[in-house]
Amino acid sequence: MKFDNRVAVVTGGGQGIGAASVLDFLTHGARVAVLDLDCAPLAAQLAARPALASRCMAVSGDCTDAAVVGAFFDRVEAQFGPVQVLFNNVGQSARERSSPFTESDEATWRFVIEVSLLTAMRASRRVAPGMRDRGFGRIINMSTDAAFAGDPGLADYAAAKMGVVGFTRSLARELAPHGVTVNVVCPGAIRTRAHDALKPEVLARIVAGTPAGFIGSPEDVAVAVNFLAGDDARFITGQTLLIDGGRWML
């Protein structure tokens, strides 16, 4: 199998894009560890698939807490072994606290930057030295097409997620000579729990602004993550892949 017994970590893997990627990795033979505040949706999906569930470690915890993250990776390495694939998926916008930048507050900026940028840096810092020393590794970071489009009301989120792009490129240059690739995916409109809370007229505007004419699924992102995590992507690093139905074209 493509990821036969390789160890993959997915942050924020309890639902949505993260959970879809977890299931994809498991289906292709990986052993997968998940850190998320709420792992219940993933557990529900795995309940009827015991063969996959037996290769998944789901830990409930806060990815913004350095002590929690450290303890999580200690447990992963003790139970599964060295991490070979890291998908830094966790992150979010200010959501109900979002506002025009002129009306925003610093506490919200700090939260968004912490959860959407620093979590990726923290987890990567933990696994990158081992990947470098072993001569193999795959790191996939999560950004968003909002970082490129500059959607109003998302200045903090766009700043954090464009920071992820810059971080990806710099880390990719450092690790490329050691057989480690680092890439970033940038989804657009994807049907997740956050999207389900949007008003119909908002969803209609999103669809109208997407050339493909529909909202993508978490699986549309998971297949791209799967490719970048595999051996076939060995010559691809430092790249930014937008998965948004053509809303923003590089």
pLDDT tens, position by position, for the chain (250 residues)? 799 999 999 999 999 999 999 999 999 999 999 999 999 999 999 999 999 999 999 999 999 999 999 999 999 999 999 999 999 999 998 787 888 999 999 999 999 999 999 999 999 999 999 999 999 999 999 999 999 998 888 999 999 999 999 999 999 999 999 999 999 999 998 988 777 767 788 788 888 989 999 999 999 999 999 999 999 999 999 999 999 999 988 7
CB 136 within 8 A of CB 179: yes
Q: Edge-to-edge strand order for the sheet containing 137-142?
A: 56-60, 31-36, 7-11, 85-88, 137-142, 180-187, 240-243
Closest CA to 18 of 1, 3, 39, 2: 39
In DSSP terms, which residues pair with 31 in a beta bridge?
7
The token pair at 7 is 């160890």
Catalytic residue among 156, 157, 189, 229: 157
Residue type, 223: V
- Structure pTM? 0.95
Residue with tokens 């990795």: 25
d(Cα 89, Cα 76) in Å, to the nearest integer? 17
Q: What is the CATH number of domain 7-243?
A: 3.40.50.720
Residue type, 193: R
Query: With b meaning 16 or more CB within 10 Å and e meaning fewer, what string describes 53-67?
Result: eebbbbbebebbeee
SS3 of 32, please?
Answer: strand
Residue type, 215: I
Residue type, 142: M
Residue 157 annotated to the active site: yes
- Antiparallel, parallel or unpaired: β 85-88 and 240-243: unpaired
Tell me the HSE value of 15 on the side-chain side, using a 13 A CA sphere: 14
226 dihedral zone (left: phi>0; alpha: psi -120 to 50; beta): alpha
CB 62 within 8 A of CB 70: no
Other Cβ atoms less than 10 A from the Cβ of 1: the count is: 9
Closest CA to 93 of 173, 197, 174: 197
